Amino acid sequence: MKDEPSGDYYDYTKTMQPERPWLLPWHQKYVYRIMHARRGGTGMYSADPVMAAGRPPEQRYVFGDGAIRELYLTFEDALQVIKRVHDITSGVPQVVLLTGWQYEGHDSKYPSWACVNKHLKREQDETALDSLRWLIREARQYNCLATLHINMFDAYADSPLFDEYAAKDILARDIDGKLIVGNRWWGMDCYHVSYTQEWKHGLAQKRIDDLIAMVPEVQENHCVYVDAMLGARKADQKGPISPYLGYSKEEEARTMRKIFRYWRDRDIDVAGEHVHGIRVDRFIGLQPHTACQMEHIRDIPDTLMCGNPAHFGFESVTEPEAFQEKFWLDFLPWFYKNHPQGSEEYGNMLDRTDICMPVLWCKEPTLIAYSRDGYASKVWKLPSSWQKPRKVSLTAVTGDGDQPLGEVDIAGGTITLHVESGQVVKIRGKC
């Protein structure tokens, strides 16, 4: 391949910087997901009866019809979620991972990404693809970059690419050449892709280029999310993905590095699900964000690789349980410490399950007070930059818009607040 990306290991310790600057400030983004739909699995057949026999009876329906099972949020509904997150967080910069956008829903018909889920289409659009692209563009007005949740490792027998990938030995096989069922998701046998074999056939590159051509807004937003970027099968975590091919885990990791760099050559950062476990490299400096396993990057600064301390998945327009608590008590301090005007020293701004802290993503100087349990009266010391105002205005932040709560005098650089249980109060200065 002409100008093929390198598969060499990137030694981040030399600079403690990414190989190339991240296209997004991931350490200053709220990353979450929207679940649009799930595909089902209602059949009785299994390609691996022994594995099926070891599972509970209710989980032995392991080769389903692949049709949509659950519709949660259409593309129009998703925009309402994005708007609501914008409103209840006072405009936090968002990255939202659109999950189940393809075919019949989440995990449907991988390895193909070629078809948008028809069940999510707006009535006024000619195609579901038109609706998806509309959503990504419209989300920007709410300080939100919407991108696609995809998978480069899994494959299902109902995929339009399955026969080609099987014929070219891209799918994992045992030493005798039999296809390996690597896992089961949502009632269907899941096979796995050898990154190296797919790359050698030029099909990884084709998948990426075809997706960008189909949804150019992904490139415009400079981000994509690759689920299950794993380096081995769950049942054989130390062995090769495909014993039949014999590529080692290190060889597969070299190809995975090529994949990260191929996306980056197209102006796209690749966030992912994992950093550790069954791959030989955390890909520090190549992958800016992970949705889980943050305990394995505690030695890494957030500017180099980070997770999100309040990662939620939305399956309805209203926020999940405990969203406000996690967002304000966990995400806000995390954002504050990562902001140039913030600090890891929270002082008296965070008191167990109560917080009163600057919201540094707001253009106008703003504090947020939140309490999990509520309190009748509490004194909060204001930041030194808030010494000029004589009063502050208070508004309750809700999904239905901000509700005025009145004004409070500043006395000796402090304010006294009453906050109900679970209430979010926005505080702004008045001269």
- d(C-alpha 303, C-alpha 288), whole Å: 8
Q: Which helix (H) or strand (E) holds 217?
A: helix 217-221
- d(C-alpha 371, C-alpha 329), whole Å: 9
Domain-wise residue ranges, the chain: 12-314, 335-430
Q: Render 25-43 in DSSP notation, one character per residue.
A: -GGG-EEEEEE-EEE----
Stretches where the chain sits below pLDDT 50 are: 43-45, 47, 58-63
Q: What pLDDT, on a 0 to 100 scale, did the predictor assign at position 187?
A: 73
Q: What pLDDT, on a 0 to 100 scale, did the predictor assign at position 70?
A: 86
- d(C-alpha 323, C-alpha 311), whole Å: 9
**What is the pLDDT of the chain when averaged over all its residues?**
92
Retrieve residue 285's tokens. 């400096």
CATH number belonging to the domain at 335-430, selected among 3.40.50.300, 2.60.40.1180, 1.50.10.10, 1.10.10.10:
2.60.40.1180
Q: Is 413 helix (H, G, I), strand (E, B) or coil?
A: coil
Q: Which residue shows structure tokens 């902001």?
A: 339
Task: Tell me which architecture the domain covering 12-314 has in CATH.
Answer: Alpha-Beta Barrel (3.20)
- Cis preceding linkage at 309, omega within 30: no
- Residue of 112, 100, 103 whose CA lies nearest to 65: 103
pTM (2 decimals)? 0.94
Calculate the dihedral angle through the C-alpha atoms of 99, 103, 109, 112, rounding to the nearest 10 degrees. Answer: -90
- d(C-alpha 259, C-alpha 214), whole Å: 19
Q: Which residue shows structure tokens 């080692």?
A: 248
Q: What pLDDT, on a 0 to 100 scale, did the predictor assign at position 390?
A: 85
Q: What pLDDT, on a 0 to 100 scale, did the predictor assign at position 186?
A: 75
Q: Is 170 helix (H, G, I), strand (E, B) or coil?
A: coil
Q: Is 223 helix (H, G, I), strand (E, B) or coil?
A: strand
Q: What pLDDT, on a 0 to 100 scale, did the predictor assign at position 3?
A: 77
